[in-house]
Structure formats: C-alpha cells, structure tokens
Amino acid sequence: MKNLHVPRVSVCRYTLCLALASTGAGCLAGDDPVTGDEPFISSDITLVAGASYTLRGVQSNKCVGIVGVSTAAGAQLDIETCTGTANQRFRPESQGGGFFRLRNELSGLCIDVSGALTTDGAAVIQFNCGAQTNQQWSITDIADGSERITARHSGKVLDVTGQATADGTVLEQFTSNNGGNQHFVMTQGLGAITRPPSFR
C-alpha cells in the first residue's frame, strides 16, 4: 500500500514526501506558490493513496459536500451536517509538486474553481477531472491539526462564504486571512463494509 506523507509545514512553503510501505521515502520540495519562503516542518499527516477523506470546517464543525447531493458537473460545494456519506468524501490524487486533485467519492468529479477565476469569491464547484491547475490544491498545516487548502492557479484558499455556519452555505476561494472558515480537518473515511460470503 502506498502512503502519501504530507509534512505539516508553515504557511510559507510546502514539501511532499512519497513513501512506500516497504521502501524508503523520497521527497519533492518546492516554494510556496504565494510567498516562496523557506520551510519550517513541524509534524506529519499521512494521506493513504486510494482512501477517501472528509473535510470538516473548523469554524462550523460541518463537512464539505455537494449542494443537493448532486452528481452533475458544475454543482457547488457547501457545508453540511456531517454524515460520512459518499457525497462528503474526497479522494486525494497526487498531481506532483505537492499538489492534489480532490475527487468526490459519489460523483467521481473533482473540486474545481469555476472558470479558473483568480478573484476572491469565485465559486468552488465539482467538475470533470483534468490536469488544469484550478483543480490542483496544496495542503498546509495550521498547527492546530487542521489544514489550509490552497488552489494552485490563484494562491487563494478554500473558504466558507461569509464565515457562515448554516447547512447549505457554499464554498468559494478567498485570500488567506487565517480565519476558522478557511481551516479544515481531514479525516480518513471508513472503508466500505463487505458482507462475508453466505454458507449453505
């Protein structure tokens, strides 16, 4: 099984280490896309390749999902009471250089900044997965066990609109301001339950 070890870093730089269970780790490092400052590594999180994760907002204590449990391209992301269902689960897929696509388990579509806009307030949607940088995200530690999720193309972060906490509040990209509505806890979802074969 391959694990993606994502070192927790300061807001100034990211580093990605890929490790195989039976081999040593190799690291790919790069400057933070916004500041380019030097690294400061504090501890690690581990993303398991092929596993799905919930993204729980620190301010709202609610999970990122898709509005109306939609499977359509273009549907917006929102926050919802956490249920652990596939609508609220995302699979990180490494794109190299410390960036990931985040694929929704229910729809198979990826988290995307609509129209590849770089402005504050641009809608965050799900869309057909591709190699475009508006679907590539870095994951940066906030030192309290939560993460900042930053769009590669804009340097702006995943943000709960208006710091609201109500179910159905949509997500946008916004300039990082260290708000709790921009911090998310990533938790690995439980695997699917497989029924044992019946015996006669």
H helices present in the chain, as ranges: none
Nearest CA among 140, 65, 66, 68 for reference residue 100? 140
Q: Does residue 107 carry a pLDDT above 70? A: yes
The class that CATH gives domain 54-188 is: mainly beta
**Measured distance CA(161)–CA(172) in Å, rounded:** 6
Q: Does residue 22 carry a pLDDT above 70? A: no
Question: pLDDT tens, 148-177?
Answer: 999 999 999 999 999 999 999 999 999 999
**Measured distance CA(178)–CA(181) in Å, rounded:** 8
> What confidence tier does 50 reach under pLDDT thresholds 50, 70, 90?
confident
> What confidence tier does 143 reach under pLDDT thresholds 50, 70, 90?
confident
pLDDT of residue 48: 82
| Length of the chain counted residue by residue | 200
Mean of the per-residue pLDDT values of the chain: 79
- Would you put residue 162 in left (φ > 0), alpha (ψ -120 to 50) or beta? left
Whole-structure pTM value? 0.76
- Listed by start position, the domains of the chain span 54-188
Nearest CA among 4, 196, 194, 11 for reference residue 99? 4
Return all residues near 193 (Cβ < 8 A) that are at least 6 apart. none
Cα–Cα separations (whole angstroms), residue 64 to 43, 60, 74, 85:
25, 10, 16, 11
Q: Are 54 and 102 in contact (CB under 8 A)?
A: no
